[in-house]
């Protein structure tokens, strides 16, 4: 089946530094990938939709300059949290669409970011 | 307003027992309804996906039902196992160009020996 690999699974960084999270589709090409964040005991919140070769579409309230998304190939999207602050600590999850109209979304295993 | 509500919020059952989780939605236009299992600290894993015309779908010990008229869905788990302990999330997809996913808050299921 379709597999999405997300790396790293956990990261601790100092306030003010930047962190990059990678999301790879291992056995299929994903023209569209999605980035979510999830706070404890809450549901996933869509942050942005990443389209290969074009700019990401951000949800209302998500700062595009703080959460930089790059989708340079059909199998890789990256999310960079710039100048991280403790309030950015969260669980970040990516997902990839297996094909338009297939209804299939495969999720990565998530990245636990802790900013100290 | 597009919403997905799940009940109960949490549930504890004994290993081997069955349980049923509920999902009510007010999403329009409707495309499909999904159930996901999310283990703590992991990404969601798809259990079932149902379109408007489907009213039941099974995946092993998981059986989902959909009543598009009343906008209700259920997820039935048979002969529960300890590994079933997780959050179960109901997600409804909007039809149309945005294909937006509307997420429920999930039901936290604990299976005890």
Q: Kindly give, in sequence order, each residue whose CB lies less than 8 Å from that of residue A15, ignoring residues fewer than 6 positions away.
A: A84, A85, A86, A115, A116
pLDDT digits (tens, 9 = 90+) for B70-110: 999 999 999 999 999 999 999 998 887 667 889 999 999 99
Answer for the pair B84, B78: CB distance below 8 angstroms, yes or no: no
What's residue B90's pLDDT?
A: 97
What's residue A100's pLDDT?
A: 60
Over 70: is that where the pLDDT of A14 sits? yes
Nearest CA in chain B to A91: B41
Over 80: is that where the pLDDT of A103 sits? no
A93 touches chain B (CB under 8 A): yes
DSSP readout, A73-90?
Answer: ETTEEEEEE-S--GGG-E
A76 touches chain B (CB under 8 A): no
Torsion of CA A53, A56, A57, A58, to 10 degrees: 180
Q: Kindly give, in sequence order, each residue whose CB lies less than 8 Å from that of residue B85, ignoring residues fewer than 6 positions away.
A: B109, B110, B111
Question: Could A42 and B105 be called an inter-chain contact, meaning their C-beta atoms sit closer than 8 Å?
Answer: yes
A106 touches chain B (CB under 8 A): yes
Nearest CA in chain A to B9: A41
Question: Could A110 and B93 be called an inter-chain contact, meaning their C-beta atoms sit closer than 8 Å?
Answer: no
What's residue A89's pLDDT?
A: 96
Neighbouring-strand partners of residue B58: B63
pLDDT grade for A101, boundaries at 50, 70 and 90 = low
Q: Kindly give, in sequence order, each residue whose CB lies less than 8 Å from that of residue B84, ignoring residues fewer than 6 positions away.
A: B61, B77, B109, B111
Find the radius of gyration of the CA atoms of chain A. Answer: 13
Mean pLDDT for A68-89 is 94
What's residue A51's pLDDT?
A: 86
Mean pLDDT for B52-57 is 92
Task: Report the distance separating Cα A70 and Cα B1, nearest Å.
Answer: 32
Mean pLDDT for B53-80 is 96
Q: Is the alpha carbon torsion for B92, B73, B87, B47 positive or negative?
A: negative
């Amino acid at each position: 089946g379709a597999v999405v690999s997300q790396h790293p699974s956990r990261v601790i960084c100092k306030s003010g530094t930047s962190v990059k999270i990678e999301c790879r589709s291992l056995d299929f090409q994903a023209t569209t990938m999605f980035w979510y964040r999830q706070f404890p005991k809450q549901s996933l919140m869509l942050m942005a939709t990443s389209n290969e070769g074009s700019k990401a579409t951000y949800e209302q309230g998500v700062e595009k300059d703080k959460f930089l998304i790059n989708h340079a190939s059909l199998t890789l999207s990256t999310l960079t949290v710039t100048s991280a602050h403790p309030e950015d600590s969260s669980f970040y999850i990516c997902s990839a669409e297996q094909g338009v109209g297939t209804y299939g979304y495969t999720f990565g295993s998530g990245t636990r970011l802790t900013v100290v | 307003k597009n919403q997905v509500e799940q009940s109960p919020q949490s549930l504890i059952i004994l290993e081997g027992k069955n349980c049923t989780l509920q999902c009510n939605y007010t999403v329009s236009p409707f495309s499909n309804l999904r159930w996901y299992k999310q283990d703590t600290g992991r990404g969601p894993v798809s259990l079932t996906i149902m379109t408007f015309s489907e009213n039941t779908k099974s995946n092993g010990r998981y059986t989902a039902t959909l009543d598009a008229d009343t906008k209700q869905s259920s997820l039935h788990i048979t002969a529960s196992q300890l590994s079933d302990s997780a959050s179960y999330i109901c997600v409804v997809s909007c039809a149309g160009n945005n294909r937006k996913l509307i997420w429920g808050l999930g039901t936290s299921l604990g299976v005890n020996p």
